[in-house]
């Protein structure tokens, strides 16, 4: 199995297995939403698109961020803590974020498309192993001009090590995430936008036993939990 890591802007019609990584916070938040009972999450590119879909699907909820903040009209922001204690049983969500959902939408040509973070890392590896791809592409979405994205690079490196049968030192990855440019922002008090609990929740390695797998369904990119 060939494993490569690329940046968001390097996505170009990849057809095998793609894992889109967003640790802080999109694909940590989706995992917590699924744990709260969400049935599915539609991934979209723009705030306007998300709100228009919610208008057409009155029973759906809109989650995510623009510039790190919850847009007007969204039901939830981009915080995993928002979903702890919620009962979302059977609910359909629509998610728009500045990095994670962008990478997923750009990767729709993939034969297998997954969203990933540390909280479902081993489950992601188990899914990849079950489909036995020739190539796996790990997409680091957090790297851009203002951010080194090392929280997502760390996750990519962790997944690579586990896929290769190695036993990586978890504490080294914790340090990389907390010392990343994104990680340093999460110092806020409970209830603030960059709540320090989001960082803690993002670093709960393998908290969930499902992978998050996306499929096109009637031209909609739908993410669902997948247990092996």
Contact indicator for 17, 133 with CB cutoff of 8 Å: yes
| Predicted TM-score (pTM) above 0.85 | yes
Per residue, the 3-state secondary structure of the chain, as one string, reads CEEEEEEHHHCCCCCCEEEEECCCCHHHHHHHHHHCCCCEEEEECCHHHHHHHHHHCCCCEEEECECCECCCCCCECCCHHHHCCCCCCCCEEEEECCCHHHHHHHCCCCCEEEEECHHHHHHHHHHHHHHCCCEEEEEECCCECCECCHHHHHHHHHHHHHHCCCCCCHHHHHHHHHHCCCHHHCCECCCCCCEHHHHHHHCCCCCCCCEEEEEEECCEEEEEEECC
pLDDT surpassing 60 at residue 146? no
Residue 58 has a pLDDT of 87
CA distance 20 to 205: 17
Six token digits for residue 114: 């997954």
Band the pLDDT of 147: cuts 50, 70, 90.
low
Question: Is 2-226 assigned to CATH 1.10.10.10?
Answer: no
pLDDT tens digits along 60-90: 999 999 999 999 999 999 999 999 999 999 9
pLDDT surpassing 80 at residue 189? yes
pLDDT tens digits along 208-224: 999 999 999 999 999 99
For the chain, give every domain's residue range: 2-226
Residue 144 has a pLDDT of 58
Residue 191 has a pLDDT of 83
Contact indicator for 203, 117 with CB cutoff of 8 Å: no
Question: Cis bond leading into 164, ω under 30°?
Answer: no
pLDDT surpassing 50 at residue 145? no
pLDDT surpassing 50 at residue 119? yes
CA distance 60 to 185: 30
State the chain's mean pLDDT as an integer: 95
pLDDT tens digits along 9-53: 999 888 899 999 999 999 999 999 999 999 999 999 999 999 999
């Amino acid at each position: 199995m060939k494993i490569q890591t690329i940046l968001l802007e390097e996505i170009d019609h990849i057809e095998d297995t793609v894992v889109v990584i967003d640790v802080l916070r999109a694909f940590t938040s989706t995992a917590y939403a699924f744990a709260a009972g969400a049935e599915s999450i539609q991934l979209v590119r723009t705030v306007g698109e998300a709100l228009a879909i919610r208008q057409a699907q009155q029973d759906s909820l809109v989650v995510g961020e623009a510039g790190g903040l919850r847009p007007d009209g969204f039901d939830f922001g981009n915080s995993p803590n928002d979903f702890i204690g919620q009962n979302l049983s059977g609910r359909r969500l629509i998610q728009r974020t500045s990095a994670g959902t962008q990478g997923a939408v750009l990767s729709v040509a993939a034969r297998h498309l997954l969203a990933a973070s540390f909280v479902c890392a081993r489950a992601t590896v188990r899914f990849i192993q079950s489909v036995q791809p020739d190539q796996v592409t790990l997409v680091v979405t957090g790297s851009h001009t203002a951010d080194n994205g090392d929280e997502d690079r760390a996750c990519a490196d962790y997944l690579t090590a586990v896929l290769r049968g190695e036993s990586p030192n978890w504490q080294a990855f914790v340090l990389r995430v907390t010392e990343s440019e994104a990680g340093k922002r999460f110092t806020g008090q409970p209830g603030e936008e960059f709540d320090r609990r989001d960082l803690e929740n993002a670093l709960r390695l393998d908290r969930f036993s499902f992978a998050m797998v996306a499929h096109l369904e009637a031209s909609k990119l739908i993410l669902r939990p997948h247990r092996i």
